[in-house]
Amino acid sequence: MRELPLFAVIGVVAVGVVGAGAFDHWRAGSGVVGLGLLLAAGLRLALPARQAGLLVVRSRPVDATVLLVLGFAVVVLVNIIPGH
């Protein structure tokens, strides 16, 4: 199934969003969203374009760089924002 990598990323991000919103664990939920973006970057780097499906937007280096920067930014922000 060609869109399986995209569904995996959407699933991880959805778990993070639900965790952040419904269960009021914004820090853990946001961290999971960041990990979902890092998963997308890893899949984009590891899979050929035909198997990566809709994770392919631009060239492989551009896609992976954007996803890595966003993923690391979310994870870093979650860890540096002071808690309760």
pLDDT of the chain along its 84 residues, tens only?
789 999 999 999 999 999 888 888 888 999 999 999 999 999 999 999 999 999 999 999 999 999 999 999 999 999 998 876
| Cβ burial, residue 46 (10 Å; 0-12/13-18/19+) | exposed
Which DSSP letter does residue 84 get? -
pTM of the model: 0.91
How many structural domains comprise the chain? 1
- Could you list the residue range(s) of the whole structural domain that residue 34 is in? 4-80
* d(C-alpha 34, C-alpha 40), whole Å: 10
Residue 79 has what pLDDT?
92
Residue 84 has what pLDDT?
63
Residue 18 has what pLDDT?
94
* d(C-alpha 40, C-alpha 7), whole Å: 10
